[in-house]
Amino acid sequence: MTGLDDIRAPGAVTRGGLVLPHYPIPKDVHPSLDSPEYRSTALRHPTQPLQLMPQRLTEVTGPLLGEERVGELDHDLTRQHDGEPQGQRIIVHGRVLEEDGRPVPNTLVEVWQANAAGRYRHTGDNWPAPLDPNFTGVGRCMTDADGHYRFVTVKPGIYPWRNHDNAWRPSHIHFSLFGRAFTQRLITQMYFPDDPLFFQDPMWNSVRDENARQRMLCHYDHSATEAEWALGFRFDIVLRGPQASVFEEEDDDDE
């Protein structure tokens, strides 16, 4: 017998003991922790090799955070104050999926971003761009049964930083995802198509594989655009998924 439904059946046990899902480690996807072009990695990346840890009970489970983490207006960053924020109103939506295409339902999605002028509401962000009294820049929502999420916000502005000469971050929204297992935890950034600043951005370019980089882009989605109201963008997020592993047979001849 094979298949994820079997792996995930509570109480599934083989002769060898507990049967757990296994999440293969993605290859050639994530950035190297040691990426010198992003200068802050210099003193913060481990220099010892990572120790391989087999996935056991703690790793294949994880927090199943629910609606109690999400307030009524947390998904709409344009309605969290008395007035409306400045900027281009946008709808960012998509699905949270596993590698085999299965949706991840009822999982918490968190976002944070700069305002339309490129400034964060953060004490550490002091560059001369205006704060917006009507914009906090923080959102949360749950995916639905089909893995779908949706935020309403404004397009974040581009902002400077001091990583290199005349350094600017492409427009982006920070995303935080849990999935259902500790192995699936993901923090990423969503970028917009045709940003002129990708060429000099060490975060975008820290993902070496061109195809993988493209997966950080949202796409304009006319079907999600609401007439005389807001532009739609689609961003699907793929988390590491469990592998359909082959079960040991009763009369297996082992390794």
Partner 1 sequence: MSDQNAAVGAGGRLGVTPSQTVGPFLHIGLPWPDGPYVVPEGTAGAVWITGTVYDGAGQPVPDAVVETWQADPDGRFDHPDDPRGAAKPSIPGFRGFARCDTDADGRYRVLTVKPGPLPCPDGGTEAPHLDVTVLARGLLDRVVTRIYFPDEDAANAADPVMSAVPPDRRGTLVAEPDGDGGLRFDIRLQGDGETIFFEV
Instruction: State which of positions 127-166 bind partner 1 (CB under 8 A).
Output: 136-138
Residue 95 phi, psi (nearest 5): -125, 150
Helix (H) or strand (E) holding 211, with range, is helix 210-214
If one asks whether residue 42 binds partner 1 (CB under 8 A), the answer comes out as yes
Closest CA to 62 of 164, 151, 220, 185: 185
**Is position 140 annotated as part of the catalytic site?**
no
Which of 148, 174, 185, 215 is the catalytic position? 174
x/- letters, 55..94, toward partner 1 (CB under 8 A)? xxxxxxxxxxx---x------------------------x
Q: Name which of residues 2 to 31 contact partner 1 (CB under 8 A).
A: 8-13, 16-21, 25-26, 29-31
Size of the site for partner 1 (CB under 8 A): 98
By CB under 8 A, name the one of 141, 152, 203, 230 that touches partner 1.
203
Alpha-carbon distances, residue 109 vs 36, 133, 155, 180, 186 (angstroms): 30, 24, 18, 12, 10
Q: How far is the CB of 210 from partner 1 (least distance, A)?
A: 11
**Is position 120 annotated as part of the catalytic site?**
yes
If one asks whether residue 232 binds partner 1 (CB under 8 A), the answer comes out as no
By CB under 8 A, name the one of 43, 145, 227, 246 that touches partner 1.
43
- Cα angle vertex 4, ends 11, 31, to 5°? 115
Q: How deeply is 181 buried, as exposed, middle or buried, from its count of CB atoms within 10 A (0-12, 13-18, 19+)?
A: buried
> Which residues participate in catalysis according to the annotation?
120, 159, 169, 172, 174
